[in-house]
Structure 1
Amino acid sequence: MSTRDVVIPAERHALYEQHRYSPAVRANGLLFVSGQVGSRLDGTPEPQLDEQVRLAFRNLNAILAAAGCTFSDVVDVTVFMVDPDKHFERAWNVAAEYWGEAPYPATTAVGVTWLSGFQFEIKVIAKLPDAVKS
């Protein structure tokens, strides 16, 4: 078995160790980023939804940067949201601050009943720049 090529941001939040997962793994020219939530460094959720979405994107962008990527390298997005009927438009308006211009990545939004105290989670797959392919 080969060793996973794990990407870890400079400031890692406590959830990685607490729940035993890697922030991201490089494989075959792609970066697979684990779901990112609006977690403070100690692992607690940002209580306000707009700020929770912003923090989830800041956590995501820190991982992308550690791998030499930006959000423009993202090709696939999956968003999980508690109570999307109530929160989707509000969260999506905040996400637009980070989304960039068209063409947009392929995106799937999933309504869920539980995110361990969080309201919003985003996971992505990004194409690695040619110089950092694994």
Structure 2
Amino acid sequence: MPQQRDAVFPAGPQTLYERNHYSPAIRAHGLLFVSGQVGSRKDGSPEPHVPTQVRLAFAHLNAVLHAAGCTFQDVIDVTVFVVDPQQHLQAVWDVVLQHWGEAPYPALTGVGATWLSGFHFEIKVIAKIPETAANR
């Protein structure tokens, strides 16, 4: 019998998830698949200041990880999307490194994008759910 999957929702406003009909994360087979997190304000609109937008994206990401009993140290794979990386990558990366943690670092794929619904940065991850959190 296949293992069931279940959605993970952080505490707080769910504006983007409700508006766009998706789950913040899916827990399945001991892994957590987190949807792309962006630097949205409480109303779902983009934060215009890029470094602040990246900080908010990490705050949203960390809230989803926490809701599943994980931390960023449990993340094994990261994909980041950056609009106009030639202009924004340094500002984005300066903030990313503040949240990255200690080695060994997760695998990383970076994608330059032309449009992210008004956002300049998006991060999606896969995390290994710790044994202590697996039974939540």
TM-score, normalisation: structure 1: 0.95
Deviations 1:94-116 (A, max 9, x none): 11111111110000000011100
1:27 maps onto 2:28 in alignment: yes
Q: 1:70 to 1:35 in 2, by over 3 A?
A: same
1:2: Cα distance to partner? 7.3
**Structure 2 unaligned regions, length at least 5:** none
**Structure 1 unaligned regions, length at least 5:** none
- 1:1-134 alignment to 2 at 5 Å? 4-133=5-134
Structural RMSD (CA): 1.5
CA distance in 2, matches of 1:132, 1:6: 15
Q: Contact conserved, 1:13 with 1:40, CA < 8 A, in 2?
A: no
Deviations 1:4-62 (A, max 9, x none): 31100001331101111000000000000000000112101111000000000000000
Q: Contact conserved, 1:26 with 1:32, CA < 8 A, in 2?
A: yes
CA distance in 2, matches of 1:9, 1:47: 23
TM-score, normalisation: structure 2: 0.94
Q: Contact conserved, 1:24 with 1:34, CA < 8 A, in 2?
A: yes
Structure 1 counterpart of 2:5, one-letter code = R
Q: Percent identity?
A: 64
The count of corresponding residues between Structure 1 and Structure 2 is 134
CA distance in 2, matches of 1:103, 1:18: 36
SS in 2 for 1:100: coil
Q: Contact conserved, 2:3 with 2:29, CA < 8 A, in 1?
A: no
